[in-house]
Structures are given as C-alpha cells and as structure tokens.
Amino acid sequence: MMSLEVTTILVVDDESAVLETVRDGLTGHGYEVLTAVKGEAALQIAKTHHGPIAVVLVDAVMPGGFNGPEVVERIHVIRPDTKALFMSGFSNEIVMIHGIKEGDPFIIKPFSFETLRRKIHELLEVRPSRPSPFARPQQTPGR
C-alpha cells in the first residue's frame, strides 16, 4: 500500500489570530501545520519536530526576539532544506529594513488562501536559482 506524504509547514507570526487563520486554511488544503507565536518557539519546533518541515511561513517583522530573516537563518542551520516564505502587512521598504532581500519569496498580508497555496506550490517546485554554498564547483571535462 502506498502512503501519501503530507507536506509540513511551520507558520510563525506574533499575532495568534493570523496563526489560527493561516493554520485552518492550510490544514483545509491538506497541509500539516505547526505554529509558533515567536521566533524562539519556531526554533524549538525546528529542533524537536520529527520529520521534514518543507516550508517556514514567517512574518518578516515581529516585535521582541527574532525577526523573520533571523528566524529563517537559524532554522536553516538546523534544517538547511527547509524553504522560506516571508509574509508582511508592511510596505516593501519597511520589510527590506528588517532584512528581506530582493528576490526572497514574499507574500503581502492580507492574502487569499489560493494565493498562499500557489506561492507555496511555486516555492516547493522551483529549483534553487543559486547554487548551494556547499556544492562542488562543476568540473570541466578533460581537466
């Protein structure tokens, strides 16, 4: 019998209403959803969760503790294969001050679940545009 693997998403936001709404919407689309109200809690989940976490959906700007880019940086130390999708209700200028780089996967709040689902699907299907810093350089034949 073939088992279907469920995609796990870790949602990190400082507003519990956002966490609950996003959790319910993603669960309704078939995802397993883990939630964390602060960056520190997200790191603890990343350390202790058994099984892969495909995506961390993280608020870019969170008061107190780590902001979104800091959370992602620390999660990547523990789980380098986890993809990141940033979200924010702030303007692009404010978000970039908090460490989001041009080209980072980003979604503006409020968003529809169809838009979120599509962004997650794109993120999971897209191959990395830049090589891993751990990748070996390509060898030229005959050298």
**CA–CA distance, 37 with 12 (Å, rounded to integer):** 6
Domains, the chain, with CATH or none: 8-111+121-125 (3.40.50.2300)
pLDDT bracket for residue 62 (50, 70, 90): confident
Cα dihedral 41, 92, 103, 19, rounded to 10, equals 30
Whether the pLDDT of residue 135 is over 60: the answer is no
Using only C-alpha atoms, the chain has a radius of gyration, in whole angstroms, of 16
Query: Do the Cβ atoms of 42 and 71 come closer than 8 Å?
Result: yes
What value does the mean pLDDT of the chain take?
85
Whether the pLDDT of residue 126 is over 50: the answer is yes
pLDDT at 44: 97
Whether the pLDDT of residue 60 is over 80: the answer is yes
Summarize the confidence of residues 2-30 as an average pLDDT: 89
pLDDT at 45: 97
pLDDT at 90: 77
Question: Structure pTM?
Answer: 0.81
